[in-house]
Structure 1
Amino acid sequence: MTITQLQYVLAVAKYQNFTLAAEKSFVTQPTLSMQIQKLEDELDILIFDRGKKPIQLTEIGRKLVEQSKNIVNEANRIKDIVEQQKGFIGGEFKLGIIPTVMPTLLPMFLTNFIKKYSKVHLKIEELNTKGIIEKLMDGNLDAAIAATPLQHEHIKERVLYYEPFVAYIPQNHRLYSNKKIDTTDLAIEDILLLEDGHCFREGVVNLCKSNKGFNDERFQLESGSFETMIKLANEGMGMTLLPYLHSLDLKGTEKDNLHYFNEPTPAREVSLIYHKSELKLHIIEALREVIMGVIRGAIAFQNVQIISPVAKR
């Protein structure tokens, strides 16, 4: 039994196709098939049911795949241990970022990080919080940038910044004339929300749940992007809430529709998160330093009230 054989098994389990698994593993299909067959012969089991399309794992195959993930991940960590000991900041680093942070934060730090740490091969993936947690737990991400606190026992959180909520209120809305607003002014029935699965949506809902009279059965409209919600608000469909960094990208008359909260300003906590057993801490620290270096000048709010992204029951 070899690590390579287990890697091939994981590839077939992922892609459910021997040809595609071989392509993704950069080997020929006969080579991959032969190695998996040798492993099955050695263990005297069938890992895959080849009679089904797409290929399916057998019952024992599912158990073997779960253990193989642990073995392959631990084997990969040997190189991480050596590089950390040498102080080498380089190699592949897989980073997940939630959709409501990606478009504003990534352009702020990516060029600086690449220039400073040219030997790090960043692989960045946009994922919602649920997908990030799953991949961190499976070892398929080294770290992620997400809204916190997540209250997950196996995940460590290191705060990067606090990002205030900003209200986008069009002229025809009841709150437009208010110079500043309070959280008690919010009514969930006229707030346009991101669709389910976005942690920023949960933050807005949690903020409104603190108000008396909250009714979670009165959601009118949900969208997949802030841009769509802004356009709908402009059409008189309600107001919406934006993360502060996103509000900086608004142009012209749309900036006149921005309204800020009285202190303490509701805000989300954005953190660099990773599994507690993660070993690439030297790269995580380098990433954190670069991000915090560029974000300090963009967000100067201090008196904030952190709104949790964890859905309230």
Structure 2
Amino acid sequence: MSYVPLSGLSLRDIEYVVAVDDLRNFSRAAERCGVSQAGLSEQVRKLEQLLNVTLFERSRRHVAPTPEGARLIVLGREVLASARNLLEVARAHTGPLDGLLHIGVIPTLGPYYIPGLLQRLRQEYAQLSLRLTEKTTSNLIQSLRQGELDVAFLAPTAATETLEQEPLFREPFVAVFPAQHELAQKPDITLDDLGRPDLLLLEDGHCLRDQALSICPSNFRPQDQRLATSLEMLWHMIAAGEGFSLIPRLALRNRTEFEGLVKFRELNQTEAYRTIDLVWRSSDPRAASFRELAHFLRASIPEGCLPYQES
């Protein structure tokens, strides 16, 4: 095979292209990559000239890879994954939790868990730099497998050969009702009370939706349930009197703006919780360090949560 010079081809440019493909938007891709939109667009154009291929079809409202671009972007992702693996192997011998660590987190956990976590990580791992990403569970798993993330915080998924997970803590659910809701007046709330038409859920794709349904009576089938696009929107829908929902404990903090509009009710049943795990690729040579990180995190469980217990 003849030698092909790589002058002009950089990993950073490939990262730009992958970001555009992920987000289908040059502005959001530039924000993710920490550069100006003009700078990112110029580098993508230069890469297209270098490859002699138009990677993206562009219009004012539409960005999508061309057929040839789609094939090359797949190769680009493989190049980035190999480059990250090279760094991971090197770090395993020089300081596995030094340098940059890409962390993913589900939207129903990130805003409520990460702020309290950052200070502890800074104190324990002084040389660690963090890059945070918030995605739904399926997208986090995809990013882990593609090497775009190093670790992720999420509720447990079915075990796979390519991912390893360590449980951190159990986060109880709390039933949150409009202040005048009939169930808010009951002395005790049971799981059988929850299978009602006015149970509010998140849209498909959010693991919290499936977690809430798993707690409801086994014969409950959602019909025309009102759906929220985010956990924050769910709060507003409850406060507006549209219905009730199950909210993870950490998301109850600092909710004074809803005082008088909602009521919190504890669920005493032992199954009314979700487990939060730390997840990474099984092939990552830093696996021992990630287990050490999980052990460190288990020692500082957030207030209101419970230690993990084997079932």
1:278 paired to 2:284: yes
The answer (yes or no) to whether the contact 1:48–1:61 under 8 Å persists in 2 is: yes
For the residue of structure 2 that corresponds to 1:265, the secondary structure is coil
- C-alpha separation in 2, matches of 1:96 and 1:237: 32
Query: What is the alpha-carbon distance in structure 2 between the residues aligned to residue 241 and residue 226 of structure 1?
Result: 10
| Deviation of 1:132 (Å) | 0.9
How far is 1:123 from its partner?
0.2
* SS of corresponding position for 2:89: helix
Match of 1:53 among 46, 54, 58: 58
> In 2 relative to 1, CA 53–297 (structure 1 residues): closer, same or farther, beyond 3 Å?
closer
Tell me the residue number matched to 1:140: 148
Q: Percent same amino acid at aligned positions?
A: 22
Show CA shifts across 1:73-102 (max 9, x none): 223322321221234531111111111101
Q: Deviations over 1:260-280 (max 9, x none)?
A: 223323111111112222233
* CA RMSD between the two structures: 3.7
1:188, 1:215 within 8 Å by CA — same for their partners in 2?
no
Give the C-alpha shift of residue 188 in structure 1. 3.4
Q: Residue 291 of structure 1 is aligned with which of 279, 287, 297?
A: 297
Is residue 241 from structure 1 mapped to residue 246 from structure 2 by the alignment? yes
* Counterpart Cα distance in 2 of 1:140 and 1:59: 23
CA-to-aligned-CA distance 1:48-71 (integer Å, 9 cap, x gap): 368x53687564553343233223
Q: Classify the secondary structure of the residue corresponding to 1:144.
A: strand
Residues of 2 paired with 1:199 and 1:218: CA distance?
19
- Residue 75 of structure 2 aligns to a residue in which SS? helix
Structure-2-length-normalised TM-score: 0.77
Matched, 1:211 2:218: yes
Q: From the superposition, tell whether residues 234 and 111 of structure 1 become closer, same or farther in structure 2 (CA, over 3 Å).
A: same
CA separation of 1:234 and 1:57: change in aligned 2, threshold 3 A? closer
Quick check: 1:108–1:294 contact (8 Å CA) kept in 2? no
Letter in 2 for 1:215: R
Task: Please list every run of 5 or more consecutive structure 1 residues that lacks an aligned counterpart in the other structure.
Answer: 41-45, 306-313
Q: What residue number does 2:229 align with?
A: 224
The structure number with the bigger radius of gyration is 1
Contact map agreement 1:184 1:211 (CA 8 A) in 2 = no
Residue in structure 2 matched with residue 202 of structure 1 by the alignment: 210
User: CA separation of 1:76/1:192 partners in 2, compared to 1, >3 Å: closer, same or farther?
Assistant: closer
- Cα separation, 1, equivalents of 2:105 and 2:252: 19
Q: Which residue of 2 aligns with 1:311?
A: none
Structure 2: gaps of 5 or more residues: none
